[in-house]
Structure 1
Amino acid sequence: MSETKRTIGELISEFAAVAIIIIFGDGAAAMYSLYDPSPYKTAYWGVCIVWGLAVTVAIYCTAAISGTHANPAVTLSLALFREFPWKKVLPYGVAQIAGGCFGALVVYAMFAPVIDHYNLTHHLTRAGDGGSAGVFFTHPGAYITVAHAFLDETILTALLVFGIFAITCRYNTQAPQANSGALIIGLLVAIIGGSAGYLDAWAINPARDFGPRLFCFFAGWGASAIPAPGQYWFVPIVAPLLGGIIGGGAYHYGIRPFMPQYATRLPGESDPVIVTEDARQT
């Protein structure tokens, strides 16, 4: 397979991975917020599990092609610490954000009548009040300022990437194998949501937030999406990128060198995201 064809396949894979995550995840968010009584209001863990399993399904569907970064923060961290090619970082990011836009479009196509009914019933507008915006993108929760949300997103994404690096480390003898690693990564996403999701809806992924936010900007939400109240739109982009670097660096320099098998590694050997034939170079 030519390099160009392989790269195109990887970009399609990243697009599809994020689209899958958003279709299921934002679908669960719609079920949580648009219905009264909500099937999730007294079972929030169910929303977290749906988001986590959406990540697991995305990995199973696309990891053999691109390694399923599905997150610009992960891609950047892999470039910094696991020799992922820098020339692919920006194209991966664009494909991931485009996947987020498409996923939001699919969710909107399914839930548009429910969104309109909810806004009408609660006397909300899209652009003025941000009616139903929580279905698609994140915002600070109760008592959380924009500055504090930046801190939260940095910490939570650091935990995410630290966990991903540990789960996929070839020298970590306690890590799951490639196939079960997808499930554990999904559970990690669910755990983050279950423990801290109410702070600011745990974006932990620039594409997960900005892709749907960009779609909503053109679908009637306007300024409530971008720039959003308090200029919040940049927080789920910059904070996860920073957090990914912190989490990836913490594992790469703080844990990995002490793994028993690390000293016996082959020259130039690196860690994959998911160990597959086409993803070994990542």
Structure 2
Amino acid sequence: MAEVSGANGNHGVTLNIKDGDMNHNPSRSASNTSDDDSAGSFLTVPFMQKLIAEVVGTYFVIFAGCAAVVVNLNKEKVVTEPGVSIVWGLVVMVMVYSVGHISGAHFNPAVTIAFATCRRFPWKQVPAYVLAQVVGSTLASGTLRLIFNGKHDQFAGTLPAGSDLQSFVLEFIITFYLMFVISGVATDNRAIGELAGLAVGATILLNVMFAGPISGASMNPARSLGPAIVSNHYKGIWIYLLAPISGAIAGAWIYNIIRFTNKPLREITKSGSFLKSSRRNGSN
């Protein structure tokens, strides 16, 4: 609901891949998996571990962030809107460092899809990842609904405070910003991979701080869809499905366009190397 506004803050979104040797990079993502994983088999233990990590990670991101929203509404703004922003940023940062080396810590269908469009994540694994993220968000929202029921029942989802167009444009911009940062700190060899979680969490905090009062600062289809499913409240849900996905795709592609390369244009366009993560040759 519009009155929840800023309290709705963003939610989880994610860390990803870092180009280079998987075994030496703590920020390694699901896209830089072994040959067995990239084959897309849904029966392998490593892939199931990735899905479990996405469910658990998304659960805690949504639980903590939406809990801050609900408590702030129920307890006379005791958390405050800046406090809600901090919770969203911190919980994403913590979960990125917790499971980023297992699943890539996407926690966000928009991020997963954006990486797939840039060939940094296998398309055949996208449906399973998206399902895991939505399941985690729905479970977290359901848990909060059970805890804060009756007169304390509050909608922790996202709703436009102004016009639909205003919220759509804002969601597109802040998700573009978020994905641009993720692409820079988590997929570029020159970035400091160990700081990726901090950078992503800080970006979410900033976005929620100024966009929360207007659109709820979703940036994540799963973050908005989970509470909507639990509360059967789908008003404006199309905004939070289309805007984050389109914004994330645009952000990922723009970063890939400006990514440094010393290869000639002819070679780049022929091989499509600017879309692919580089891989080091050598032993494990």
TM-score per shorter chain, which class?
0.7 to 0.9
* 1:158 corresponding residue in structure 2: 176
Corresponding residue to 2:151 among 99, 107, 117: 117
* 2:55 corresponding residue in structure 1: 15
* 2:142 corresponding residue in structure 1: 105
**Is 1:31–2:34 an aligned residue pair?**
no
Give unpaired runs (5+ residues) of structure 1.
Answer: 120-131, 218-224, 273-282
Distance in 1, matches of 2:231 and 2:95, equals 23
**Is 1:84–2:121 an aligned residue pair?**
yes
Change (3 A) 1:45 1:176: farther
**Is 1:238–2:254 an aligned residue pair?**
no
Alignment of 1:216-235 (within 5 A): 216-217=231-232, 225-226=233-234, 228=235, 232-235=236-239
How far off is 1:271 after superposition? 6.2
With the length of structure 1 as denominator, give the TM-score of the two structures.
0.75
How far off is 1:82 after superposition? 4.2
How far off is 1:200 after superposition? 0.8
Change (3 A) 1:25 1:140: same
How far off is 1:106 after superposition? 1.9
**Is 1:249–2:275 an aligned residue pair?**
no
Give unpaired runs (5+ residues) of structure 2.
Answer: 1-33, 38-43, 268-272, 280-284
How far off is 1:34 after superposition? 1.5
Q: CA contact under 8 A between 1:100 and 1:208: conserved in structure 2? A: yes
**Is 1:138–2:158 an aligned residue pair?**
yes
Distance in 2, matches of 1:259 and 1:35, equals 56
Encode CA deviations 1:92-113: one digit per residue, 9 max, x unaligned. Answer: 001100000011122223222x
Distance in 2, matches of 1:6 and 1:171, equals 25
Q: Report the residue type matching 1:181 in the other structure.
A: A
Q: Report the residue type matching 2:160 in the other structure.
A: P
Tell me how large the CA RMSD over aligned residues is: 2.3
* 1:69 corresponding residue in structure 2: 106
Distance in 2, matches of 1:46 and 1:146, equals 26
Corresponding residue to 2:79 among 40, 45, 57: 40
Distance in 2, matches of 1:11 and 1:97, equals 11
**Is 1:177–2:180 an aligned residue pair?**
no
Corresponding residue pairs, total: 230
* 1:213 corresponding residue in structure 2: 228
Q: Percent identity?
A: 29
